[in-house]
Every structure is written in structure tokens, then in C-alpha cells.
A = this chain, B = another copy of it.
Amino acid sequence: MFFSGSSQLTLPCERFLVTYRLWGAENEAYAKAKDICLEQTVEFPDELVPDGIIREHILGRIESFAACGENQYESVISYAVATAAGELTQLLNVVFGNISIKPNIRVEHLELPESLLKCFKGPRFGRNGLRELLDVQERPLLFTALKPMGLGSKELAELAYTFALGGIDIIKDDHGLSNQAFCPFEERVKLCAEAVQRANWETGRHSIYMPNITAPFSEIKGRAKLAKDLGAGGYLISPGLTGLDLMREIAEDESLGLPIISHPAFQGSYVLNQSGISHHALFGQIVRLAGGDGTIFPNFGGRFSFSREECEGIVRGTAMPMGILKTIFPCPAGGMSLSSIPESLKIYGKDVIFLVGGGLFMHGPQLIENVRYFRKIIE
């Protein structure tokens, strides 16, 4: 016996559920499920796992296992809520830490009990809060990006002014703009926020400028605060670059308190392949858990490879019941053309934010006219 007796601590018996897709013959897939139970918790040889609380409670447990296709199985595995320590970082570790390194395993869906969900405040604004902020009740929201990288702050501000004048609701930095010499963060945010406010005075609308605050660990909160002080209306964050928990931190910080939209940069490898995390779980459920008020993803039929079903899965994740967590906006993007909007409207309905970037420049020679056309087809 290696241990002086495993902990006698009594733990709350609540568990959370993770649905995994497993590939292989039935015996291989079942062996994977059993392996996940060990790998994600005790990371210890099965025969040596101490009896008592560790084997009965800490160890992952197969709740169900069933075929869902040829050489494809779905298994629901439960874990003790106590293993997640009320931390998003550790929750993600239990869900997919070590097994991210093992092939033919995909996280399909999370089901978290109130006792775990209450550790997270989730989105500060959500769909309703963002609609109130923008004073847009019924229609889909319009979203575009300041680009191309390499323009100076003044040129980006001119674009921001034109976009706001034409009726775009949310005008964000392109996600590649951080603090480059050609458009330093403070200068860019100051000029772009002023430009959008100037347009708002002329139109009477409530468009917002949303700078990209994705930055080094020690600078993100400072940039977020600076942006708010300079009149920015929200934050763009790429949690694949900063860590998902950073987005949660910004969302929960009372002193910041602006809406957040999540960008999928550097996260594609999780969803592109058989081994990884489903579009639904990552861009829907996890972004929402991490405090995003909107989640950007490449729309089907654009220049990326997501399917219509995958996009619909994300939309489900933004709105399905998750305790007190607010519903959030899907933000289909990625080479959407204005001509694709009508079909997308049928699928997404009104609770969507359409992100059109380069497409606004492609439609015609006059940017302001293109923007007004975008606005018109939405209305």
C-alpha cells in the first residue's frame, strides 16, 4: 500500500457531464472512454487507484456509451464538481487537458450543474444588454472591422467615421491591430472612438467602437481601462491568444464593464479536426462561459470551411439553458459577402450580428453607399 489511506474529506457529490465523441472499433472506443476517466483525473494506473473517495468520487465515471455512426461512439463521462476547483482554467483541464494529446477524442457538449455554473458570472451584457446599449431592438446587428493592417490611426478613424455614418452598429479593430508603430493603441483608440462619437452626434444612433485589447498579460487590463476612458464602447479579445480565463476576468471586472466579442484566432486547431472540441462546445458554450457577449466564427459558404450544421451548433450553444448565464450573439463572419446576407437571415433569424469586413469594400466604389446597402438589406 503506497498511501497512508486516502483523504477522508467528504465532498459534495455533484458531478458535471462531458459528452465525448470517440472513433474506433467498439472495444477500442470503450477503452478510450475508460482511459479518459483516469487520464483527466487521477492520471494513475487503474489497478493502483486507491479505493474509497478517490475511486468512487474523484475518478471520472462513464455514465453512458453508445454507437452514433460507423466506428463512432458517444460517451457521457461525469466528473466531481470538486475536481474543477471553481476555476475556468481547471475546469477546461478536466474536460480536455491531457486527452487533447490523444487522438480520436472530441469534446461534443458540456452539461454543468448550478453548483459549478455559479462560479462564473458569464457575459455581462448578453443579447438583451447589447441590444439596449446599441438601442436596436428588433433587427440583426451590423458589425465591421477597421482594416487593412498598415493604415495609420487617422485613416482608420476616417473609416470608422464612414462606417458609423452609414449605420454600422459595432465597428471593431481588425483582430491583427494591437499596438504596432503604424497605429499605436492609445492614438488609434482615441481617434477612432472620437470619430464614432462624432458620427453618432450626426446620426442620432448609438454605434460603438470596439478596439482589440488582445495584448500581453501585464498590459491587457491597462489597455481595457484606457480604452474605456477614451470612449470605446466594447472590447475585442482573441482568447486563443490570451487564454480563455482572461476574457472571463475582463467580463467580471466591475471597473471595465463593456461588452466583449470573442475572436477565434489561434483556436481553429481545436475544431478543424476529428480530435479536438466541437464548434458547439468551443465557440458556443465555452466562449459564453468565459464571458463573451458575442462569438465570432467563420460562416458557412465563406472563405473558411465550417459547415452549416457546425454553425447551427454554435448558435445552439449561444442560447441553450446554462443556469443564469445570459444568452450571447452569434457573429458569423469570414468572407461574408453582402449577397449572402439574405440566406443567412433565414438561418440565424434576428438574434445575430453580421460581421462583414472586406465584403463592404467589394460591393461598390463608394464605401458609404456600400454600408448603407448593408444596412438596408438588414432592415
Query: What is A's interface to B at a CB cutoff of 8 Å?
Result: 2-7, 9, 11, 40-45, 48-50, 53-54, 57-58, 82-83, 85, 87-90, 92-94, 96-103, 145, 147-152, 154-155, 158-159, 174-176, 178-183, 214-218, 238, 240-243, 245-246, 248-249, 264-277, 298, 304-305, 334, 357-358, 361-362, 367
Contacts and interface: CB of A to CB of B under 8 A. Distances in A.
Contacts of A245: 216-217, 241-243
Contacts of A243: 217, 241-243, 245-246
A150 B58 contact: yes
B102 A265 contact: no
A147 B241 contact: no
A115 to B, nearest CB: 12
A72 to B, nearest CB: 17
A178 B85 CA distance: 7
Contact of A100 (B83, B150, B249, B269): B269
Nearest to A263: B97
Nearest to A184: B85
29 contacts: A2-B361, A4-B154, A6-B151, A7-B152, A9-B182, A43-B148, A44-B357, A48-B361, A50-B148, A58-B182, A87-B216, A89-B238, A90-B178, A90-B241, A93-B241, A97-B175, A97-B176, A98-B175, A100-B265, A101-B271, A102-B305, A216-B245, A217-B245, A217-B246, A217-B249, A272-B273, A272-B276, A273-B273, A273-B276
Contacts of A178: 85, 87, 89-90, 93
B41 A149 contact: yes
Given A176-B94, A362-B48, A182 B238 contact: no
A53 B266 contact: no
A138 to B, nearest CB: 31
Q: Which of A53, A85, A89, A100 gathers most chain B CB within 10 Å?
A: A89
B42 A150 contact: yes
Contacts of A265: 93, 97-98, 100
**6 closest A-B pairs (Cβ-Cβ)?**
A243-B243, A101-B268, A100-B268, A42-B148, A97-B265, A58-B150
Given A45-B361, A151-B54, A152-B9, A2 B266 contact: no
B270 A82 contact: no
Given A87-B215, A102-B272, 12 more contacts: A2-B159, A7-B182, A11-B181, A43-B147, A43-B176, A54-B150, A92-B266, A93-B265, A101-B298, A101-B305, A217-B245, A242-B243
Contacts of A151: 3, 6-7, 50, 54
A87 B179 contact: yes
A118 to B, nearest CB: 15
A374 B334 CA distance: 53
